[in-house]
Amino acid sequence: MLLDEPLIFERGSPGRMGWMLPAAPASIELPRELRREDDLVGMPEVSELEVVRHFVRLSQWNYSAATTLYPLGSCTMKYNPVVHEALVRLPGFSALHPLVPDELAQGALDLLAQLEEALRAVSGLDAVCLQPAAGAHGELLGMLLVRAYHRDRSDARRRRVLIPSSAHGTNAATSTLAGYEVREVPVDQRGLLSARAVAAVMDDSVAALMVTNPNTLGLFEEEIEAVAALVHERGGLVYMDGANQNAILGVARAGDMGVDIVHFNLHKTFSTPHGGGGPGAGPVAVRAALGAYLPIPRLVRRGAQLAWSEDAPKSIGRLHAFDGNFGVLVRAVAYILRLGGPGLTEATRHAVLNANYVRARLRGTYHLPYETPSLHECVFSDRDLQEHGVHTVDVAKRLLDYGFYAPTIYFPLVVKGALMIEPTETETKETLDAFVDALLRIAEEARTQPTLVREAPHRTRLARLDETRAARRPVLRWRPPPRETAEIS
Ligand SMILES: Cc1ncc(COP(=O)(O)O)c(C=O)c1O
């Protein structure tokens, strides 16, 4: 099998075509301003079969949850059920223009109302906004709501946000973007945020505590209620980064923990495509006291009809065009309706069981920095491999030789050399065993043949890349080689 694939532009030969069309009955005079002045160079000149083979080959090189286990912790590469794709392509959803009058879009509005209702129910909070396009966008909305709340009360003292050291990186970034100073609160030896640590830094300058729960170590914040009470006592708000709610859905609710604002990552919790700061969805749920500041337009009932309303004088304004990423929201509703309440709780239990199975099998071979019982993901470190000169990155690269994508590495930052695994609820025991067996073999190799691990991968098209250079100076544009340009022109 050919293991290298040139770009489509580098294939073919001059004059070769991939299409057959009858000659046009009459030539069309294009307006002058639309006519090309220069020669068209560098277009692929390939046959249809070359095109098909090129793209099929490339698609086979893709690694995804549709090919095998994708154990990225925190990013949660969940399987997206195929039925979602069929549903979202129904013409009533896919062909609905966003400017259609409300009375002609009642079905779509009803779907959004159902999603709002479901998110209120599972969060235990009072109002929901579906507009944010990603988890981080939801966080930004949350912090803008915090700002609007304090401004409305003329409380100008609040300039800080408390963030535990186990928080997701986006938490500090969004607080800063919203104009706040970030103060880090260290987690204790259990990997948890303690009420004592919060009490030591809580004062009237604090606008909010922003806590990822379950945190990035996959641990539930056991003192969250006491912590929330402390923050409220001094006039602050509690924001929960609820991206990890796939670990508690149907079991625990943010509202019951004393949280005022929470965001969901629909891709992590409801099996929709990943947002990655882009075209996903990160809805936000809030307590009634914050409802007035939510973005417009708001979905309201007028008699038997649903309608968008802009009548919200204290709103922070608009966050996203139209209704957010509607297609993603349709997929989330499909997931919720298909599983139902008990099914969602069952999915949570499986996610936790799978992660704990992996944790139990690897414990003893890989160093587990925190012994606190974990939920949907588990975090190891490379401490015990270092004496052989093997590090987390080497384990990740060697996993590629065994046919597995690497887990998240070097995150969370509270663990040096972290190896963070999140198998998700849909994996079978056989797949988990194959993955764990590969990791156990790699640990053995690290002891007996460390060079093999240090120089991995050995079976991929490319081995180790200069990742920093690839990120900082990416080459994203193909240019025709000079000789070819000369020949054509
Ligand atoms: C805990 C946590 N918070 C926030 C985010 C950011 O979400 P997004 O990538 O959708 O912006 C993620 C990423 O999945 C996450 O794991």
User: What are the structural domain ranges in the chain?
Assistant: 8-23+30-61, 83-336, 344-472
| Ligand 1 in reach of 215 Cβ (< 6 A) | no
- Local confidence band at 488 (pLDDT 50, 70, 90 cut-offs): very low
Of the chain, the percentage scoring pLDDT greater than 90 comes to 82
List % helix, strand, coil for the chain (3-state, nearest 5).
40, 10, 45
Output the pLDDT for position 322.
Answer: 85
Q: What is the mean pLDDT of residues 87-93?
A: 95
Which residue is closest in CA terms to ligand 1's atom 9?
276
Which residue is closest in CA terms to ligand 1's atom 7?
135
| Ligand 1 in reach of 166 Cβ (< 6 A) | no
- 145, pLDDT greater than 80: yes
Find the range with the poorest average confidence among 151-155, 387-391, 459-463: 459-463
**444 CA from centroid of ligand 1 (Å):** 34
Give the atom of ligand 1 at the shortest distance from the alpha carbon of 244. 1
What span, in angstroms and rounded, lies between the C-alpha atoms of 286 and 173?
A: 21
Q: What is the mean pLDDT of residues 179-201?
A: 97
Which has more confidence, 3 or 200?
200
Give the atom of ligand 1 at the shortest distance from the alpha carbon of 139. 4
Output the pLDDT for position 484.
Answer: 52
- Local confidence band at 4 (pLDDT 50, 70, 90 cut-offs): confident
Of the chain, the percentage scoring pLDDT greater than 70 comes to 97
Q: What's the mean pLDDT when you consider all of the chain?
A: 93
Q: What is the mean pLDDT of residues 180-192?
A: 97
Output the pLDDT for position 77.
Answer: 87
Amino acid found at 317: G
Put the strands of the sheet holding 181-185 in their side by side order. Answer: 127-129, 284-286, 261-263, 237-241, 206-212, 160-164, 181-185
**217 CA from centroid of ligand 1 (Å):** 14
- Domain 344-472 carries which CATH code? 3.90.1150.10
Question: Which is nearest to 260 in space by CA: 236, 230, 292, 282?
Answer: 236
Query: What b/e sequence results for 214-226 when a residue is b if at least 16 CB atoms lie within 10 Å of its CB, and e otherwise?
Result: bbbbbbbbebbee
**462 CA from centroid of ligand 1 (Å):** 29
**244 CA from centroid of ligand 1 (Å):** 8
- 489, pLDDT greater than 60: no
Region of residue 155 (phi > 0: left; psi between -120 and 50: alpha; otherwise: beta): beta
Each residue's pLDDT tens digit, 51-72:
999 999 988 888 888 889 999 9
Q: What is the mean pLDDT of residues 106-126?
A: 98
The fold adopted by the segment(s) 83-336 is Aspartate Aminotransferase; domain 2 (3.40.640)
What span, in angstroms and rounded, lies between the C-alpha atoms of 108 and 86?
A: 16
| Ligand 1 in reach of 271 Cβ (< 6 A) | no
Each residue's pLDDT tens digit, 421-457:
999 999 999 999 999 999 999 999 999 999 999 999 9
Each residue's pLDDT tens digit, 221-266:
999 999 999 999 999 999 999 999 999 999 999 999 999 999 999 9
| Ligand 1 in reach of 280 Cβ (< 6 A) | yes
Amino acid found at 23: A
- 3, pLDDT greater than 70: no
Q: What is the mean pLDDT of residues 7-19?
A: 89
- 486, pLDDT greater than 50: no
**435 CA from centroid of ligand 1 (Å):** 25
Output the pLDDT for position 454.
Answer: 97
| Ligand 1 in reach of 276 Cβ (< 6 A) | yes
Listing DSSP states for 9-66 in one string gives: GGSB-TT--S---PPPSS-----GGGS--S---S--B--HHHHHHHHHHHHHH---TT
| Ligand 1 in reach of 278 Cβ (< 6 A) | no
Output the pLDDT for position 2.
Answer: 52
Output the pLDDT for position 443.
Answer: 98
Q: What is the mean pLDDT of residues 343-353?
A: 98
Contacts with 41 (C-beta within 8 Å, 6 or more apart), sequence order:
480, 484, 485, 488, 489
Each residue's pLDDT tens digit, 303-322:
999 999 999 999 999 999 88
